[in-house]
Amino acid sequence: MRCICFLLSALPLFADGLPTAQPKPPVAAQPTPREVAWRVLSGVHLAVGKAQAAVQPYVMLHLAENTVEFNRKLALIEFRDAFADTRILETTYRVPLQAQIVSAAAPIDIPTAIELVRTMRPEPNQRRARESWDHSVLAIDAQLLGSNRANEAIDLIKLVSLPGVFPNDAASNIITTLSPKDDRRLSVFGYAATCYRQFPFPGFTTLLVDHWQEMPLNLVVLAADAVADDGSHASHAELRQVLPILRAVDAPRAARLLNERPEIEEPEKEPRPISTHVDPDDDRQMQRASKLAQEYPMRALDEVASIRDPELREQWILQIARQAFQSGGDANVASRALYMLQQLPAESQGELSGKLGELAAYAGQYQLAEQWVDTSFEVAARVLEADLNTKSDCGANPAPRDWWPSTAAYRSAIHGSVALFHTGAERFLTRMQHDPDLYLLMSVEFARALLGSGTTAAPQITCRAAVALAKEAAQ
């Protein structure tokens, strides 16, 4: 008994010297896509000065568009900074970018958007700039009308109108939105007609054609006569549009117009019909595939394998695979579709790389999915070479970097990589670090993709289109 007591009393002494199990450190939680997006956007905000001066306002615009998700006050500061930075751009691109900024800011803060749009000065002869300015006024007016502030929307039309430039789309939207019994519609239409008589502007004829039947006779006569009298500005197409209106409201003036410009009543040439011929055998294969696609997608794929037209074959393979995914089909359909698409010409595979990656991931072939993401970036790199090629017939693309076809291709590749690899797609950004302009634009695009937003909407301007815009601006 004494021994047992001794042992029991000694246990605490030995226990102090024994190793004890250490608690495992808590596993760090993986950052969410939203957290990664904010980290990336914050980094872009700090690094935007590394981009070329002509690229910075575009980066700031897209940064602000996505910062809205996290900090509206900061986003408004970024919108203002982007607008201020546009001053270094030539007018051909300055006004369209300013319009993008105003349109993006309008849903966030109407006073800021109005303040910015008041400083814009589009040239009447620059169609893209003029139309984008009109769209930005429309974006603000849409917000005002949605808040039952029609008087302010009308005041804005009068505030921003310039000699030779008028916000036709915004005015038309007000007329359409207000009740047919609302006299303010007449005020807007009458103001547009008066402005046109003083300083003719493009687009008024469309406004007239759209709303003349809803307006008092005296206003319509005023407007239609103004177009007929504007021989130096009204185009052949505009005079053709106004002729039926004149015949209805001012027959003598219509007769004089035809006497002055008889060519406007000549019939227009019929457009050459587009051939839609489909090989009869291909048509039969497609009909059989259509019947099988829902219940027997594998058999449907066998049917479309015999379609001779490669474009039709590609469309049907993707359509059948997509239907199978939506109905919860098995991955064998994706594997079969993927194999068939790999038999297409190499250039087609490059264009399909994003879709091929999705098919490969669904089929459980993630290594192949990454290969197709690689392909999408390789395609974008080849397009970039064309944009940068100073030795081509056109030379290097003089359009803004944000509008290059290669930028659009990289954006598509970024969204495809995020769809497949989520936050893990950040590794693909390292491929662009040698090009600060591209890296910053695509970093914002990566954050945008993580937030679940669609691809950035930006014009695509080739080198030849940019040269044509420059010639238009010089006229």
Instruction: Give the chain's residues under pLDDT 70.
Output: 1-28, 231-232, 266-278, 324-330, 346-351, 353
Question: What global pTM score does this model have?
Answer: 0.80
* CA pair distance 268, 151, nearest whole angstrom: 42
Residue 337 · residue 320 · CB < 8 Å: yes
pLDDT value, residue 344 = 74
For 261-316, give the DSSP string: -GGGGSPPPPPPPPP----HHHHHHHHHHHHHTTT-HHHHHHHHTT-S-HHHHHHH
Residue 20, pLDDT score:
52
pLDDT (0 to 100) of residue 342? 75
What is the pLDDT at residue 39?
97
The pLDDT of residue 346 is: 63
Q: Is 129 exposed, middle or buried (0-12, 13-18, 19+ CB in 10 A)?
A: buried
**In the prediction, which pLDDT does 249 show?**
93
Angle at which helix 217-229 crosses helix 204-211, to 10 degrees, equals 150
Looking at residue 3, its pLDDT comes to 45
pLDDT confidence of residue 214:
93
Residues forming beta bridges with residue 401, ordered by sequence position: none
pLDDT attached to residue 441 = 98
Residue 26 has a pLDDT of 62
Per-residue pLDDT of 213-252, as tens digits, reads: 999 999 999 999 999 987 667 888 889 999 999 999 999 9
Q: Where are the alpha helices (DSSP H) in 293-404?
A: 297-304, 310-326, 331-341, 346-351, 353-362, 366-388
pLDDT of residue 291: 78
Helix (H) or strand (E) holding 243: helix 236-249
Residue 359 to residues 125, 134, 323: CA-CA distances in angstroms?
A: 48, 42, 12
Per-residue pLDDT, 350: 66
> 298: which residues sit within 8 A by CB, 6+ positions away?
332, 333, 336
Helices 405-421/366-388 angle, 10° precision:
170
pLDDT digits (tens, 9 = 90+) for 173-229: 999 999 999 999 999 999 999 999 999 999 999 999 999 999 999 999 999 999 998
pLDDT for the residue numbered 168: 95
